[in-house]
Amino acid sequence: MLKENFPYPIITEETPCSYDKRKNWKKHWLVDPLDGTKDFLDKNDEFTINIALIENGNPILGVVFAPALDLLYSAQNNKGSYKNRKKIFNTSIREKLIGADSRYHSTNETIAFLKKYNIDKVIRAGSALKLCYLAEGKIDVYPRFNGTKEWDTAASHIICNEAGCKIIDIKTKKELIYNKKSITNNFFVASRNNLFLQ
């Protein structure tokens, strides 16, 4: 349907594209048709379908759909973020922070980060849902010190941005960017502010 209705090239996890071919693209779709394969296999319902539209290295539209949970998160540049068509924004002012960690891909570095900031309450969730939980204010920070690819984060990235949150690359200290030479993301910290990287 994307091919039929929009004149932009498509990259998916199953159909990657060489950098030489895509380096001059101004717009393209970035799709993960099944994010959270282990969640899917374990039947915990936390797998998602992620679709993002990238323009000049930045996501400008994103959809994260968790079909088994009947959850649909979406966002468009300068038009806000939504959960099942109701607007969301992270307005949390809680002092006792809540973190998120991967159910299957946690690391010692992640545990150390959460301990450093005295984050005792940690939600473990699958796939792109952790970033969506940040957008709606269920959590305050999600450190990711394990490998992710561009299609894992692009859709939820715009959802976070439009909900007042940022996803900061710990190497560049700037927002994650897309359509890089390598489709692997650097490690990142996603939060409702930048206090964690100052």
Q: Which pLDDT belongs to residue 40?
A: 86
How many CB atoms sit inside 10 A of residue 158's CB?
27
Residue 54 has what DSSP assignment? Answer: E
- Does the pLDDT at position 193 exceed 80? no
> How far from chain centre, in Å, is Cα 163?
12
* Rounded-to-integer distance, Cα 188 and Cα 185, Å: 8
In whole numbers, what is the pLDDT of the chain averaged over residues? 94
Strand 188-191 with 166-169, pairing: antiparallel
Domain 2-197 -> CATH class: alpha beta
CA distance linking residue 144 with residue 186, whole number of Å: 9
Count of other CB atoms within 10 angstroms of residue 67: 11
pLDDT digits (tens, 9 = 90+) for 134-168: 999 999 999 999 989 999 999 999 999 999 999 99
Confidence at residue 198, expressed as pLDDT on a 0 to 100 scale? 53
- Give 149's strand partners: 184
120 within 8 A of 98, measured Cβ to Cβ: no
Q: What is the pLDDT of residues 23-56, one digit of tens each?
A: 999 999 999 999 988 888 888 999 999 999 999 9
Distance CA 106, CA 116 (A): 16
**Per-position DSSP letters for 117-146, written without gaps between them:** TT--EEEEE-TTHHHHHHHHTS-SEEEE-S
Q: Express each pLDDT in 50-106 by its tens digit.
A: 999 999 999 999 999 999 999 999 999 999 999 999 999 999 999 899 999 998 889
Partners of 189 in beta bridges: 143, 168
| Structural domain spans, the chain | 2-197
C-alpha to C-alpha distance for 15 and 179, rounded to whole angstroms: 14
d(CA 88, CA 104) in angstroms, rounded, equals 27
The H-assigned helical ranges of 45-187 are 108-116, 129-136, 150-161
**Residue whose structure tokens are 């030479």:** 181
Question: Alpha carbon 105 to chain centroid distance?
Answer: 15
| In contact, 190 and 137? CB cutoff 8 Å | no
